[in-house]
């Protein structure tokens, strides 16, 4: 088993990558070690990051999580520039599509360990094979309407797959935080405990109800 860390692990400012000797890769979203605020630079870097993760055959399991008790809680809109400019939007759109394609192309089990707010790009978590949601977890879509953008990209596709088209449209067109609680009434999110999330980070099999 490869014990040295590949060079790409240290190339991303807001994605901490660590892998144990069993090939379990922990990918942690963060801003300076704390809760993650998404920026345009991250958008560009994640395109490469998830391509490299999918390409690396030493990765046997991939765990996506966030630092500081949140998955992805916020976004810095100003860093993206004027998204009404066709050139700016074309880059953002292309990067966004390719990021999702690269996550979907990870050919090993992907676990999303979600604590706190998954309020930006919650589709990253929804693409996982297993979603482990802590008691504190809530899902939301704050970026699209706030930036004057229709939520008709990958977030609609993933939420439609997980929750059904009708529930996805209601969630995205009237954006309100969604906790894991609605699962008991036919929702899509698994229950877990803080202990199960830590278990997932150690590479053990989480139990979901």
Catalytic residue list: 123
Q: How far is CA 12 from the centre of its chain?
A: 15
Which positions ≥6 away from 78 have C-beta within 8 Å? none
Q: Which 3 state secondary structure label does DSSP give 38?
A: strand
Which positions ≥6 away from 32 have C-beta within 8 Å? none
C-alpha span between 57 and 136 (Å, rounded)? 33
Parallel, antiparallel or unpaired: strands 110-114 and 178-179: unpaired
Which positions ≥6 away from 157 have C-beta within 8 Å? 123
Residue 146 phi, psi (nearest 5) = -60, -30
């Amino acid at each position: 088993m490869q014990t040295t860390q590949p060079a790409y692990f240290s190339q991303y400012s807001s994605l901490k990558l660590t892998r144990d000797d069993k090939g379990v890769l922990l990918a942690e979203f963060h801003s300076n070690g704390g809760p993650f605020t998404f920026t345009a630079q991250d958008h560009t870097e994640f395109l490469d990051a998830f391509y490299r993760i999918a390409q690396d055959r030493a990765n046997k399991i991939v765990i996506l999580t966030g630092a500081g008790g949140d998955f992805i809680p916020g976004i810095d809109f100003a860093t993206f520039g004027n998204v009404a400019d066709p050139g700016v939007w074309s880059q953002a759109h292309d990067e966004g599509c390719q990021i999702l394609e690269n996550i979907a192309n990870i050919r090993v089990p992907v676990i999303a360990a979600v604590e706190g707010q998954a309020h930006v790009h919650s589709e990253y978590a929804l693409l996982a094979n297993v979603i482990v949601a802590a008691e504190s977890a809530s899902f939301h879509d704050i970026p699209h309407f706030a930036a004057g953008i229709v939520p008709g990209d990958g977030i609609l596709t993933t939420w439609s797959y997980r929750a059904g088209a009708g529930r996805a449209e209601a969630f995205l067109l009237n954006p309100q935080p969604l906790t894991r609680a609605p699962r008991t009434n036919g929702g899509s999110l698994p229950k877990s405990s803080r202990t199960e999330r830590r278990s997932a980070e150690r590479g053990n099999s989480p139990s979901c109800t």
